[in-house]
Amino acid sequence: MATPLVVSEVFKSFTMHLRDGIKLPVVNDVNFSVASGECVVLGGPSGIGKSSILKMLYGNYAVDAGQILVDHKDRLVDIAGADPRTILDVRRHTMGYVSQFLRTVPRVAALDVVAEPLVARGVEAPEAREKASGLLAKLNLPRELWSLPPATFSGGEQQRVNIARGFITSHRILLLDEPTASLDAVNRRVVVEMIAKKKREGVALLGIFHDEEVREAVADRVLDVSQFSPRKAVAA
């Protein structure tokens, strides 16, 4: 089975220059990989570095040492050392990300927020909107909201827009940061079904799910992030 994502010996810390340069270690020696068609769930208590790992993979956080290898357009890209242009190309074509919160842009309609990743890949706007409509309908977002900017939506409505935006493309790798946190039971089940479909399509998924029921339903294995925690190393 193909393995589009390999994380190898990754270290991450924050240096707080405004706090006398204190160094906060986040994770040490992170090693794992995700295969096509597999959903790996990052486990462990809050503050252990789960979201930080996703942000490093997506290029939002820099990496102190190690490699994050992504199979991008039939070549290996190391996100840890890639230039911004390459990271943006990886985001456009290979790696998607559903963040915890939607970063809203004033005046852009929910439907266009969802369609945008497809348009960025060169799909014509009507076709992209068509697909966006399908996803928003599946996620039970009331139709009268589609043409409104999501800034004023409730938490759960924004999250569904965010999920639709993350799932609209056929990226080979998908990172999910608590996509079901503020959803009701019905919509949680919709998301579980969408994840299952991605798995059948051979997408490699890596996610954080605090909801036990969802985790049980989607995880092929749980990766305990506390094994990478520098705090544990100090205590031991």
Q: Which residues bind another protein (CB under 8 A)?
A: 14-18, 55, 59-62, 84-85, 87-89, 92, 105-108, 119-122
CB 217 within 8 A of CB 39: no
CB 106 → another protein: shortest distance, Å?
A: 4
| Residue number, 59 or 166, with CB nearest to another protein | 59
State the nearest-atom distance from the C-beta of 233 to another protein, in Å: 22
Min separation Cβ 73 and another protein, Å: 9
Residue with tokens 């990989």: 33
Q: β-pairing, 173-177 with 22-34? A: unpaired
Q: Shortest approach of another protein to residue 99 CB, angstroms? A: 11
Q: CB nearer to another protein: give 3 or 152.
A: 152
Other CB atoms within a 10 A radius of the CB of residue 182 amount to 16
Nearer to another protein, 87 or 168 (CB): 87
Taking the least distance from each CB to another protein, the nearer of 118 and 176 is: 118
- We find the least distance from the C-beta atom of residue 69 to another protein, in angstroms, to be 18
When the beta carbons of 175 and 194 are compared against another protein, the nearer one is 175
Q: Which is nearer to another protein, 79 or 218 (CB)?
A: 79
Q: Which residue has the tokens 């969408």?
A: 194
Shortest CB 15 distance to another protein, Å: 8
Rounded to the nearest angstrom, the gap between the alpha carbon of residue 104 and the centroid of all alpha carbons in its chain is 17
